[in-house]
Amino acid sequence: MFNYQIIIEYVGTNFVGWQIQKNGSSIQSIIQKVLSKVLKSKIKISGSGRTDAGVHANGQSASFFFKDKIKDKYKFLSSVNFFLKKKSISITKINKKKLNFHARHSVKKKIYKYIILNRLTRSPIYENRSWLIKKKLDINMMKKGINFFLGTHDFSSMRAASCSSKSPYRTITKAEIKKKKDKIIIIFESKSFLQKQVRSMIGCLKYVGEKKWKPEKIKSVIRLKKRQNCAPPAPPYGLYLEKVFY
């Protein structure tokens, strides 16, 4: 038996999310079907974590067991991507791992990226790939506000009601904002995130950038631990799972 890790890119616009669900097409289900077809064996994959409907990935990670050694990686990638090309999904790498490797349980940290397009007009290139905000955002205020997310906190105010995580505590090890012309790029790094946590943090930063909130308001929202105090979460289509570290 061999254990393999695959790195996956996808546009999440037309999917119900990563995880297999009854109410629509998921990235996980499509990849499993294609792998099973190419390898001529029933394959089950485990992802590094869920991404919600509409969320994209540049570096999602998944693992699976297969009875035989995959000798020709180029042929494997060419074959699976032939069947995936119409689905806006691509497997970019395959790595043989030790048998105890698990795409989710072995994770040390993840990086999520969010793109805000801050201009008056829509972009056909970034349609469904960014959040268009027409009102000018104060980037300096947002940079002050984002620092309040750093460290270990109870993020109860920024988790979805349907979140199944046992603990609301998460540790944010990196939180930064960059501006490139009319794009605002926001980066968060942590071992794991609560459901809708990143989008909720982005929503709070938008309020700060619009000067609806002072940067210090974020600190009190976290401290109060109540969802109703949080800003509305940002839409999913600006969010990317950028990289998973092991």
Question: In terms of C-beta density within 10 A (0-12 exposed, 13-18 middle, 19 or more buried), how is residue 166 classed?
Answer: exposed
Q: Alpha-carbon distance 184 to 135, whole Å?
A: 13
Q: Is 68 a catalytic residue?
A: no
Catalytic site residue from 52, 68, 138, 154: 52
DSSP H or E run through 197? helix 197-209
Which residues, 6+ apart, have CB-to-CB distance to 54 below 8 Å? 12, 13, 15, 128, 235, 236, 237, 239
Residue 73 contacts residue 2 (beta carbons within 8 Å):
no
Angstrom distance (rounded) from CA 30 to CA 25: 7
Helix axes 197-209, 217-224, angle to 10 degrees: 150
Q: Pull the structure tokens for residue 155.
A: 């993020």
Active site residues: 52
